[in-house]
């Protein structure tokens, strides 16, 4: 069940809202129990066995968070934090990468069977939230006194389960105690607007232009270079509308029930550098990798070379997190290298260049072009397909094809340009 589906919008959400608002506002605890029950029911739609796995993960990480609290000795606190992080990543690693590494091992040793593992829905997002909670408790940034039910609410809050945004405990858990907002207040209207906006982005724009994009990325050699270029630009729009549309839906659904979540996308394609792009794109994910991967690796505190290596390692890990294929590794490597080059030029080259009215448009075009180039490896099913696509664009692309393309696909072109 996804947020943009008819079953969710016509049945699940109205039933939830009716029961939720039937409970008087002064009984916030009871309202939260209603939300918790619906969150568990929502997740169970993806398979009851996955719900049991989630509850097991909650129990492990909650125990780790308790041990990581300041009431214990330093060694015990470190053990609790390590328990939560290692076991959380172990569960995530098994379900996300066992099949990938099993196939590699099977290719070398055919007698070794390939494990048949089904990826639980949302495991990446609730695992990252659980890790952030344990680490923040260990760092004394959040108290270790959260009751188990409130912690379970935090990790199972249904707007966050499918695709985030990854929400820190300091943002959501205190709101569980706050006085509920009225159902017709400004936050609720903002939520309705975001839900409408998310549906338009996800269902009308992303799902429609994806049809043409899929043809291009499936068989790029069947199309001209210009048509392939339009497919790359179209996918750049598609993935933004898909991800940001789902974030809008999640933030809007939470707002309907009085929970304020942080923005997750801030016009990322307006960025004029790759660093700025990651300050605007999937903000909850990029800040998570910054705070729990990049900074623990040393951040920018250990010299220029180490800073570059930390950027590269962080983006490689981010690529692997997106999926168990070599193409995601290439995508992460491209962004890692791009960030290193970006940082180097800003530190050693751009400071020596006088201001120019052409600098900002050129910086924007370079940034968007590089991001779109990297998306090819994110979307293409294989290196061969990606190289074929790049060959078509570089060898058979003419802008004279724009008007015939517009005449053949006017709605696709208009939606893509409007979205940009």
Q: Give catalytic residues, as residue numbers.
A: 322
Q: Residue ranges of the alpha helices (H) in 123-224?
A: 123-138, 148-156, 169-172, 186-199, 207-218
Q: Are 402 and 225 in contact (CB under 8 A)?
A: no
Residues 6+ apart with CB under 8 A from 144: 65, 66, 68, 69, 70, 71, 137
DSSP state at residue 132: H
Q: How far is CA 112 from the centre of its chain?
A: 34
- Compute the distance between CA of residue 225 and CA of residue 233 in angstroms, rounded to an integer: 12
What is the per-residue burial (b if ≥16 Cβ within 10 Å, else e) of 51-74? beebeebbebbbbbbbbbbeeeee
Q: How crowded is residue 169: how many other Cβ atoms within 10 Å of its Cβ?
A: 23
Q: CA nearest 28: which of 126, 133, 150? A: 150
Output b/e per residue, 328-350; b: 16+ Cβ within 10 A. Answer: bbbbbbbbbbbbbebbeeeeeee
132 close to 141: Cβ distance less than 8 angstroms:
no
Return d(Cα 155, Cα 55) in angstroms, integer: 10
Query: In the Cβ-directed half-sphere of 335, how many Cα atoms lie within 13 Å?
Result: 28
Which two tokens mark 411? 């709605």
Question: How far does CA 369 lie from the centroid of its chain?
Answer: 21
């Amino acid at each position: 069940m996804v947020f943009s589906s008819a079953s969710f919008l016509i049945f699940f959400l109205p039933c939830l809202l009716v029961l939720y608002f039937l409970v008087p506002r002064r009984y916030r605890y009871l309202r939260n129990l209603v939300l918790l029950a619906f969150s568990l029911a929502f997740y169970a739609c993806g398979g009851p066995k996955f719900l049991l796995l989630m509850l097991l993960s909650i129990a492990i990480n909650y125990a780790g968070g308790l041990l990581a609290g300041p009431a214990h000795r330093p060694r015990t606190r470190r053990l609790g934090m390590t328990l939560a992080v290692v076991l959380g990543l172990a569960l995530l690693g098994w379900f996300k990468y066992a099949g990938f590494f099993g196939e590699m091992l099977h290719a070398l040793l055919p007698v070794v069977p390939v494990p048949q593992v089904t990826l639980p829905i949302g495991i990446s997002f609730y695992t990252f939230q659980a890790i952030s909670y344990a680490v923040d408790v260990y760092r004394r940034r959040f108290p270790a006194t959260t009751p188990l039910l409130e912690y379970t609410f935090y990790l199972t809050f249904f707007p966050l389960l499918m695709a985030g945004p990854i929400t820190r405990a300091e943002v959501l858990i205190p709101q569980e105690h706050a006085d509920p907002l009225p159902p017709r207040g400004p936050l609720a209207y903002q939520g309705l607007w975001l839900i409408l906006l998310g549906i338009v982005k996800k269902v009308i724009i992303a799902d429609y232009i994806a049809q043409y994009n899929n043809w291009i990325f499936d068989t790029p050699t069947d199309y001209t270079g210009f048509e392939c270029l339009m497919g790359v630009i179209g996918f750049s729009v598609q993935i933004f509308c898909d991800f940001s549309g789902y974030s809008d839906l999640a933030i809007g659904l939470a707002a309907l029930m009085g929970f304020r979540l942080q923005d997750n996308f801030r016009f990322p394609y307006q960025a004029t550098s790759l660093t700025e792009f990651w300050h605007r794109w999937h903000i909850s994910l990029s800040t998570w990798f910054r705070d729990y991967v990049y900074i623990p690796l040393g951040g920018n505190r250990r010299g220029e070379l180490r800073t570059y290596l930390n950027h590269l390692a962080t983006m490689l890990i981010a690529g692997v997190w997106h999926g168990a294929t070599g193409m995601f590794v290439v995508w992460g490597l491209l962004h890692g290298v791009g960030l290193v080059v970006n940082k180097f030029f800003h530190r050693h080259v751009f400071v020596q260049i006088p201001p120019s009215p052409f600098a900002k448009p050129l910086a924007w075009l370079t940034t968007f072009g590089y991001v779109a180039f990297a998306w090819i490896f994110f979307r293409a099913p294989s290196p061969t397909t990606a190289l074929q696509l790049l060959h078509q664009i570089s060898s058979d692309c003419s802008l004279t094809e724009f008007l015939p393309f517009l005449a053949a696909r006017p709605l696709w072109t208009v939606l893509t340009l409007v979205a940009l």
